[in-house]
Amino acid sequence: MLSPMDIDGFFLTSILLVAACGDDTVGLDDTGGSTSSTAASTSDASDDGTGSPDPPPDACEPTAAEGSGIAYLGGAELGVRCNDEACAGSCCSNFSVYCADDELACGGAEVACDGAEDCGAGTVCCWHEALGPGSACMDATQCDTEGGAEVCRDDSDCGGGHCVRGPSWAGSLDLGLCQDELASACTPASGAECGGAELAGVELIDADLRGVVLCGADLRGADLRGADLRDANLAAATLGGARLDEVRLHRADLRDADLREASMAYAELDDAVLTGADLHGISIAELSLDGFDLHELDLGESALRKVSLVGADLRDADLRGALLIDVDLRDARLEGARLEGTAFSHVTCPDGSVAVDMPCEGL
C-alpha cells in the first residue's frame, strides 16, 4: 500500500533561542512569553566579533519520530464534501473547486468519492495520482496494484493499516488515506511536540502552530501557507520544496534548517534565526530581512524579488546564479560573497546607488 505522503501534496510550548552576547537574547520565559524584543537575526546577536556564529542548538528530542503523517478521524456521509458542501455528484478542481453534476461537468481533477459509503458493494474509494490526482470507486486490489491508496474515515477502513490526513485541496476536501505505517504522534496544534516527525507533504494551511517543536522534522513539500509558527522550533528541520507563503515566523528557530527550493512570499520573520540554514534555490518575495545574519549561507540559484536586506550580513554567502530583482542592499555587508552569475535588476547597492541591469560597482 502506498503511503499518502507519496501521493500529495509539529513540541514544547517553551523553547529557548540563545544568542552569544550581552542582552541580545530572544527566547521564551516559563509561561511562553517573549523575554526580549532584541533582534536575534542581526549579526550582532549571532557574531562575537570574530565572524563565528553562535553554536547550533542542542539536538532536539525526537518525540514524534515513529510513524508518519497525521492521524485522521472523520465521519461517513453520502456525497463528496467539497468546500463545506455535500456534492450530489463529484468535487472538481479546475481553476476553482466546485461541485460537478449532470449540468456542470468537471473539466479538471475530480474527486468522485471521499469514503466507502460513496461506492458500491465490493469496491473502495481509491485516491490516485493518475486520476488528476483525484478519487474513484474501484476494486481494492486494483487500487493497490496501481499505486493508489484507499480513502478512509478511520483505522477500521484500512484493513489493519492506519488512516492519516489526506490531501485537502487548500481546505476544500476533508478525507483520510490508508497507509501501512503508524501515524505519527504529532498533532497540528499550538504547543504540540513533533520533534523528528515524518510529515512530508502534509497540508497545514492557516494552522495555529505557535510554539510547536518541529526540530528535525521532515516537512518536505509541506503546504504551510498562512500558518502561525511564531516561537516555533524548526531547527534542523527539512523543509525542501515547502510552501511557506504568508507564514508568521516571528522568533522562530530555523538554525540549520533545510529550505532548499522552498517558497516564502509575504512571510513575517521578525527576530527569527537562520544561522546555518540552507537556502539554495529558495524563492523569496515581498519580505524584510533587514539586519539578518545570513553570512556564509547558501543562497545559490535563489530568486529574491522585492526583498529588503538593509544592513544584512551576507559575508561569505554563496549567491552564485541567484536572481535579485528590486532588492535593497543598502549598508549590507558582502565581503567575500560569491556572486558569479548573479543577475541584478533594479537593485539598490550597499552604497545607495541603483544597479539597473548590472552588478553593483565593486561587487
Could you report the per-residue pLDDT of 109-142, keeping only the tens digit for each? 999 999 988 998 999 999 998 878 899 999 999 9
Return d(Cα 334, Cα 318) in angstroms, integer.
Answer: 10
Instruction: Tell me the pTM.
Output: 0.77
pLDDT of residue 221: 96
pLDDT of residue 161: 94
pLDDT of residue 48: 40
**Length of the chain, please?**
363
Return d(Cα 61, Cα 55) in angstroms, integer.
Answer: 18
pLDDT of residue 107: 81
Q: Is residue 285 within a helix (H) or strand (E), and if so which, with residue range?
A: strand 283-288
pLDDT band at 234 (very low <50, low <70, confident <90, very high): very high
Q: Collect all residues with Cβ–Cβ distance below 8 Å to 349 and sequence separation of at least 6.
A: 329, 330, 355, 360, 361, 363
Return d(Cα 326, Cα 115) in angstroms, integer.
Answer: 49
pLDDT tens by residue, 52-71: 344 444 557 777 778 999 99
According to CATH, where is 2.160.20.80 located in the chain?
A: 279-363
- Residue % of the chain over a pLDDT of 70: 83
CATH superfamily entry for domain 279-363: E3 ubiquitin-protein ligase SopA (2.160.20.80)
Of the options 2.60.40, 2.160.20, 1.10.1740, 1.10.3470, the CATH number for the domain spanning 10-39+51-67+188-269: 2.160.20
pLDDT higher than 70, residue 361: yes
pLDDT of residue 58: 53
Among 16-20, 37-41, 94-98, 166-170, where is mean pLDDT lowest? 16-20
Identify which has the larger pLDDT, 351 or 41: 351
